[in-house]
Copies of this chain bind each other. A is one copy, B any other.
Amino acid sequence: MSEQFLTRTRELIHKKILAEISPDSLIDQAMRYSVLSDSKTIRPALVLASGELNNNLTKNSLITLATAIELIHTYSLIHDDLPCMDDDDIRRGKESSHIKFGEANAILAGDALHDLAFEIISTDKDMNDASKIKAVNILANASGAKGMVLGQHLDIESEKSKENIDLKSMKKIHTLKTGKLIKAAVEMGQIESSLNKAEINMLLEFGSKIGLAFQIFDDILDETGETSELGKRAKSDQKNNKQTYVKVVGIDESAKIANKLLDESINLIDELRVRDKIEPLKSLAKFMVNRKS
Contact = CB atoms under 8 A, between A and B. Distances in A.
Interface of A: 21, 25-28, 31, 75-76, 79, 82, 84-85, 102-105, 107-112, 114-116, 118-119, 121-123, 128-130, 132-134, 136-137, 139-141, 143-145, 149-150, 152-154, 156-157
B79 A145 contact: no
Contacts of A114: 111, 114-115
Contacts of A21: 145
B104 A122 contact: no
B104 A85 contact: yes
Q: Is the interface of A mostly helix, strand, loop or mixed?
A: helix
B144 A133 contact: no
Given A102-B84, A129-B130, A150-B25, A137 B119 contact: yes
A104 B84 contact: yes
Copies in the complex: 2
Nearest to A145: B112
A123 B144 CA distance: 14
B105 A153 contact: yes
A144 to B, nearest CB: 3
A82 B76 CA distance: 17
Contacts of A143: 111, 115
A140 B75 CA distance: 15
Contact of A144 (B26, B103, B116, B140): B116
A57 to B, nearest CB: 15
A119 B184 CA distance: 14
A137 B122 contact: yes
Given A110-B111, A132-B136, 4 more contacts: A76-B111, A105-B153, A107-B107, A118-B140
A24 to B, nearest CB: 8
A140 B153 contact: no
Lowest 10 CB-CB distances: which A-B pairs, in order? A115-B144, A129-B129, A84-B103, A112-B145, A119-B140, A122-B137, A118-B140, A112-B149, A115-B140, A84-B104
Contacts of A123: 137
A247 B132 CA distance: 45
